[in-house]
Amino acid sequence: MKILVVDDEELIREVVKEYLQFDGFLVDEASNGEEAVELALQNDYNLIIMDIMMPKKDGYQAVKEIRKIKDVPVLMLSARGEEFDKLFGFDLGVDDYVTKPFSPKELVARVKAIIKRNEKSGTKLEFGGLVLDDKAHEVSIDGKVINLTPKEYDLLKYFVSNNHIALSREQLLTNIWGYDFYGDDRTVDTHVKTLRHQLGKYGQYIKTVRKVGYKFEF
Amino acid sequence: MKILVVDDEELIREVVKEYLQFDGFLVDEASNGEEAVELALQNDYNLIIMDIMMPKKDGYQAVKEIRKIKDVPVLMLSARGEEFDKLFGFDLGVDDYVTKPFSPKELVARVKAIIKRNEKSGTKLEFGGLVLDDKAHEVSIDGKVINLTPKEYDLLKYFVSNNHIALSREQLLTNIWGYDFYGDDRTVDTHVKTLRHQLGKYGQYIKTVRKVGYKFEF
DNA sequence: CAAATATGTGAAAAAATCATGAAAATTTAT
DNA sequence: ATAAATTTTCATGATTTTTTCACATATTTG
């Protein structure tokens, strides 16, 4: 678990670093935006803690540049009472932020929360007893792993990650089969059929939307 | 945009309420966990702001119960320096939290951030208890989903997105059926009939415009 | 008020759409 | 290369939806 701490005040960096290391994180430091960008692109951090006001390149700018290349979680530090609007106006997709002065304990708690959130999100999608573990590329029902064919898996994954959204056959074909699929629309139907069957009692959560296509609804 | 504020201190509720109302949110209040659960299950809130320490039923418990039924975003309030572990130990999937004492301005900023994050909307057309969720391709009345046929759905969608505008049968036919429809005018009447019936008490909002056609007027 | 015109309604006919099973084609594994 | 698994196509029948149409009811007009 590697974290990059970016702040121009050495004291803050040191304190934060100490607390994080105590909890078993590996910590790198940067004292301005430029350094931060450089380090972030070279290494794979699980999280970047970034101050806003810094010399050379401010936190917004740095996050913007990093995010262009890498999708790494960011926690922003800001002086109390200022900059909130900017933080939300810019849609940087910041994961959290903490206002100075902060308690190191709180910071660490938030860091853990973010990391936990991001770990989970990439990998497991749960709907009651239906679990799709994307990392393991595996689906289980009530704890029992079921064997899906590749297409079935892709289809299910697309369905569950678009819960409550009606998807047209065309949409499904272009997103799962690829834009260059020239076959029959109705091939989707067949796969939905087999997938429903495979999912047993969870099959009912794939609903047909007449004249449109299908949707997953849990 | 409706928000439920849950805290046992009236002063806090009042302050929060005032700030939120200033930004155009509708605010309900509850002073303990039990009330909160009751209200949350009856109404559709866009967000719940929940204190942790409360009499009768604490915030954890309340969130847990609500989340069993409804998937509503939650922002937790907690006294500084306590309870972080609990908050993250329990995997309640809380969207954010703010430690007391907090600045109301910050709270509002976070509220907006959460709502923005959770907004898959821009898709929902609401008229009192009549909601058309276009993404889900689904219509509900007072929270209960009703089953519309494709034509009924298209017709309703066209009506509500042309609120207050009289629409001729021809107009409806060309826009919903397609320019190449060669059938009878009066087929519109039949669909209006079934749609009115399906909409129950909201059926009356589709008004007949004699000699012209129909209009939706809410 | 009666005739003419327009809309509401119910039921039946016609049409569209989907679920399904099986076979053909393709891909992957042995 | 052969077998096995997966994917695709396609025809069928079941189901749902759409349309038509005749008659009822309501509104307007002379």
Q: How far from B84 is each of A97, A107, B59, B92, B116, CA to CA, in Å?
A: 16, 10, 13, 13, 25
Residues in chain B within 8 Å Cβ distance of A96:
96
Range A110-117 average pLDDT:
78
- State both tokens at B71: 């998937």
Closest-approach residue (CA) in chain A for B89: A113
pLDDT band at A112 (very low <50, low <70, confident <90, very high): confident
- The strand pairing partners of B3, in sequence order, are B27, B47
Q: Provide the CA A101 to C1' D8 distance, Å, integer.
A: 62
Strand C: list positions under 7 Å from protein Cβ.
Answer: 6-11, 17-22
Measure A214 CA to nearest chain B CA, in Å: 10
Measure B136 CA to nearest chain A CA, in Å: 4
**Residue from the list B81, B88, B105 with its beta carbon closest to the beta carbon of A112:** B88
Which nucleotide is the nearest neighbour of A181, by CA and C1'? D8
A168 vs A218: CA distance, rounded Å: 18
Per-residue pLDDT tens over the stretch A118-143: 766 567 888 989 999 988 899 999 99
Footprint of strand C on the protein (CB under 7 A): A 186, 189-190, 192-193, 196, 208-213; B 186, 189-190, 192-193, 196, 208-213
**Residue from the list A106, A112, A210 with its beta carbon closest to the beta carbon of B150:** A210
Residues in chain B within 8 Å Cβ distance of A103:
80-81
Other residues' Cβ atoms within 10 Å of the Cβ of residue B69: 10
pLDDT of B216: 97
pLDDT at A89 over 50: no
Other residues' Cβ atoms within 10 Å of the Cβ of residue A74: 24
Closest CA to A66 of A93, A37, A89, A95: A37
Q: Does A79 touch chain B (CB under 8 A)?
A: no
- Per-residue pLDDT of chain B (218 residues), as tens digits, is 899 999 999 999 999 999 999 988 999 999 999 999 999 998 989 999 999 888 888 888 888 888 877 878 888 887 755 555 555 544 566 777 777 778 787 788 888 878 877 765 457 888 999 999 999 999 999 989 999 999 999 999 999 999 999 999 999 999 999 999 999 999 999 999 999 999 999 999 999 999 999 999 99
Q: Provide the CA B108 to C1' C8 distance, Å, integer.
A: 52
pLDDT of A107: 85
Q: What is the model's pTM?
A: 0.63
- State both tokens at A37: 């960008």
Give the strands of the sheet with A124-127, arranged side by side. A124-127, A130-133, A138-141, A144-146
Q: Does A44 touch chain B (CB under 8 A)?
A: no
Residue type, B170: E
Closest CA to A135 of A118, A149, A151, A152: A118
pLDDT of A122: 63
pLDDT of B92: 60
Per-residue pLDDT tens over the stretch A141-183: 999 999 999 999 999 999 998 999 999 999 999 999 987 899 9
pLDDT at A80 over 70: no
pLDDT at A98 over 80: no
All domains of chain A in start order, with CATH: 2-122 (3.40.50.2300), 128-216 (1.10.10.10)
Mean pLDDT of chain A: 87
B149 vs B152: CA distance, rounded Å: 5
Q: Which residue did the predictor score with more confidence, A22 or A92?
A: A22
pLDDT of B89: 41
B136 vs A216: CA distance, rounded Å: 9
- State both tokens at A78: 């800001």
Choose from B137, B139, B147 for mutation: most chain A CBs within 10 A. Answer: B137
pLDDT of B86: 52
